[in-house]
Amino acid sequence: MKDQAEMDNSMPTPSKISASGVQVYYGDNHAIKDVNVEIADKTVTAFIGPSGCGKSTFLRCINRMNDTIDVCRVEGDIRIDGEDIYDPKVDPVQLRAKVGMVFQKPNPFPKSIYDNVAYGPKIHGLARDKAELDEIVETALRRGAIWDEVKDRLDAPGTGLSGGQQQRLCIARAVATEPEVLLMDEPCSALDPIATAQVEELIDDLRQRFSVVIVTHSMQQAARVSQRTAFFHLGNLVEMDDTDKIFTNPRDPRTESYISGRIG
Ligand SMILES: Nc1ncnc2c1ncn2[C@@H]1O[C@H](COP(=O)(O)OP(=O)(O)OP(=O)(O)O)[C@@H](O)[C@H]1O
Ligand SMILES: [Mg+2]
């Protein structure tokens, strides 16, 4: 615990997300064990670690997506800007507009490109009229680095795009509600190297506006896109530090073994 507190003091910017004493159980399976972490604003934080160590589980705690899994139980305290996101007063739907998520497999709605992006702003009442909605859609598609490719076919189905385009559409959809945090669970694993490079560039851009948390199996990707890296192992957050420190001089032998390819 002391180690983690010391590391957190070296945070480059004030923290956006604070988690303490987080435990997650799926029935009897204790999947996240007493995780304490501070995640900075306007920073990309990478979660790395071997398959099954709990990266996705912990990520889903941050927008209460685990609420949708029957056997899943979350304990502990998670705050965004000091607000307890598990407070019964918090509406998970509102929370998920503020804490957007992008999944491993692009999952556009079976709707037009325009409607994919307009859906969230519509249900959250972010536009007063059609002109304003058009503007929100265009801005989001530009932020998703896909505007030029789709501007002439906004009425075409989102599912008709290529995999890389679909993923950028999903990113545009996630940013359209002006989130404060963007969670990305292996967002590039279904993409080719060109689409991956586009999404990575985009992530770097998004960091100007949000706190971005990305789960990745690629250590090269973590090194390229993130400023902070957290290493998970068997449900424990082993260590978190500046990304270059984790990759050059980690403190824990388990991190060392993982980054040098001996475990995982
Ligand atoms: N929906 C679920 N129901 C039951 N158990 C689950 C569920 N999701 C994850 N688990 C269990 O929780 C543990 C952590 O899984 P999690 O998916 O968070 O790992 P991960 O680090 O994201 O792995 P990967 O890199 O393979 O995606 C595993 O033991 C897994 O079997
Ligand atoms: Mg996962």
Could you state, in order of their start, the residue ranges of all structural domains in the chain? 4-107+178-259
* Mean pLDDT for the chain overall: 93
Q: Residue 262: what pLDDT?
A: 72
Strand, helix or coil for residue 140:
helix
State the number of CA atoms in the 13 A half-sphere of 44 facing the CB. Answer: 25
Q: Are 225 and 46 in contact (CB under 8 A)?
A: yes
User: What pLDDT digit, counting tens, does each position of 127-179 carry?
Assistant: 999 999 999 999 999 989 899 999 999 999 999 999 999 999 999 999 999 99
How confident is the model over 21-44, as a mean pLDDT?
A: 97
Output 262 or 68, whichever has higher pLDDT.
Answer: 68
Dihedral pair phi/psi, residue 212, rounded to 5° = -115, 130
pLDDT bin (cut points 50, 70, 90) of residue 2 is very low
Residues with Cβ < 8 Å from 262, sequence gap 6 or more? none
**Among all ligands shown, which has an atom nearest to the Cα of 185?**
2
Residue having the nearest C-alpha atom to atom 17 of ligand 1: 56
For the segment(s) 4-107+178-259, the CATH number from 3.40.50.300, 3.30.950.10, 1.20.20.10, 3.30.750.24 is 3.40.50.300
Distance 71 CA to ligand 1 centre (A): 12
Find how far residue 1's CA is from the centre of its chain: 25
**CA quadruple 202, 204, 208, 212: dihedral positive or negative?**
positive
CA angle 47–49–51, rounded 5-degree value: 115
Nearest to 240 by CA among 263, 264, 213: 213
Distance 142 CA to ligand 2 centre (A): 28
State the number of CA atoms in the 13 A half-sphere of 6 facing the CB. Answer: 5
Q: Are 203 and 212 in contact (CB under 8 A)?
A: yes
Which atom of ligand 1 is found nearest the CA of 27?
Answer: 4
